[in-house]
Each structure stands twice: as C-alpha cells, then as structure tokens.
Amino acid sequence: MRWMTNLMLVLILLALPAAGFALQDDDTDKDYEWKTWKTRRSHAGFNGHGAFYYMGQTFESSALDQLATDMGLDTFDGVMMGWGGYGLGHIGNGWRIGGGGFGLEARTSGLYTDTGTNETYNRELLMTLGGGGFMVEYSPWMIGPINFGVGGLIGGGGAMIEMRQDTGAFTWDQLGNQYTGAPSSAENVSTDIMQGFFMVRPYATIRVHVLDWMAVEGVAGYHLSTLSDQNWYFGEKQLSGKGPELDVNRPYFRVGIAFGG
C-alpha cells in the first residue's frame, strides 16, 4: 500500500523538527534532576529524539480466512508485521510531543491448479494496515539507564485487502485485453478494496540507554479504531451491503532504536 508508506514518511519528516527543537539541555526545569547513564539532565531520557521500529499487531477475520481457503491458500496466522517511526520533543516536566506513522501487512500466497485444464495460477491474498498522527508521551521515570513512560498516538489510517491471480507470464497487451470487448474469465486479475478510519493507540514504553544519544526501546500498546464492515470501497465506489469483517482492535508491540540528545 504505497500511499500508507508515503503517509508514514511524511509524518516522520514533519515530526523530526519537533524533536530537534528540544535537543539543547533545559537548565530551567529544576523539578526533574535525573541522570541518564552518563550525562546529567533536567528530566528523564532525551530532550528530543527520533526512532525507527519493527512492530507486530494481532488481528482476526473469519471472512478473510474463509476466502483464503476458497482460493486454495493457507489461512492467516493472525499477526501483521511491519515498520514505523516517530519523532518526539521534550516540552517540560517529563512531557513530549511529536508525531509518527506505521505500515503493517499480512499475506498468504500459493499455487492453484485448475483440475479441468491443468493450468497453474499464482494466487495471493494480502491485508495491509497503516496510518499516523499526533503523539504525546509522559516519561519522567528513570532508574539508572532505564527510562519508563506512557503515551499515545491519535490520528487516522487505512486498511486495504488485495486479491491477486496470475499465470506467472504475461504481457502488457494480455493484461489490457482483459478489459476490452465482452467481459470474460480473466486469468491475470487484481482486486483491491479499502477503508479509512480514525484511531487511538495508547501504549507503555521502556527505553534502555546504551549511549547518551542512543537507546533500545520496547513498547506494548492497544489499537482502537473506527474500522467496520460497512464502509469498504472498491475504487471510488462504496460496496453495497457489508464487506468483510476485520477485527484490528487488538494489542500491538514494537521494538526499535531511538536517537537523540
């Protein structure tokens, strides 16, 4: 889902200046006399930082599992995996603000053989989820090099379900000819449906400072969104009736590396 990847990159670029404005030491904040591993600071952790992370999120969809079975594919394992990033700047008293984004996917694929013609087809079912938004975090607690915090992301995103079938060898003319003349059973086909949603993603985080300017972090959180089976779109046209149910209001986790000062 290229538009989700682009959205994530834009949000990260927009958020990094928010992290950058706080890279200087805040000597005026005397209420938080903490130390990182080596450097004395006026609060716990970084003044400002950015991070990239690898993440996973659970999901469930009996409709997609049934479709995978009908396509002759394995069902999903219930976990989407992907990448993300964010930037946060310290604004005082342990509070940080910024923004970030992420992209996740789960796929199942395989070969299907038509018992009548003995033709072999590649088939794939792909589900993607992504988005981004504004982030706020409260993380004033530090024990030695370990920084603890809680926070959340509020914003928007989208989900897409992609169905693919091809013979493995085709030309531009063959693809175009499937859309000309009277409709027939095409061999190389692709169908996408998508839906946008509003989301909130609360989380708890632990950062272990390996260096003054680098930390390894682990995060556990919960995804809450307005995704439903009523608002799926095929291109610009909304599906009639209900689309596939997809439960993504579930826990997620991520691990990453943060850089800052």
Q: What is the mean pLDDT of residues 217-239?
A: 95
Q: What is the mean pLDDT of residues 77-86?
A: 97
Q: What is the mean pLDDT of residues 22-46?
A: 49
Ordered domains of the chain (ranges, CATH): 2-260 (2.40.160.20)
Q: What is the mean pLDDT of residues 104-131?
A: 93
Q: What percent of the chain has pLDDT over 90?
A: 66
Question: What is the full DSSP assignment across 54-88?
Answer: EEEEE-B-HHHHHHHHHTT-PPP-SEEEEEEEEEE
Given pLDDT bands bounded at 50, 70 and 90, which one contains residue 26?
very low
DSSP class of residue 236 equals: T
pLDDT at residue 4 tops 70:
no
Bridge partners (DSSP) of residue 216 are 208, 257
DSSP class of residue 247 equals: B
Residue with tokens 């959205």: 7
pLDDT at 41: 52
Which sign, positive or negative, has the C-alpha torsion 225, 106, 78, 61? positive
Q: What is the mean pLDDT of residues 95-105?
A: 97
Q: What is the pTM of this model?
A: 0.81
pLDDT at 44: 72
Q: Which pair of tokens denotes residue 94? A: 């342990």
Distance CA 28, CA 163 (A): 57
Query: For 13-22, 38-47, 156-165, which range has the lowest pLDDT when averaged over its residues?
Result: 13-22
**Cα distances (Å, whole numbers) of residue 169 to 70, 126, 175, 188, 222:** 23, 21, 11, 9, 43
CB of 120 closer than 8 Å to CB of 155: no
Query: For 37-41, 187-191, 230-234, which range has the lowest pLDDT when averaged over its residues?
Result: 37-41
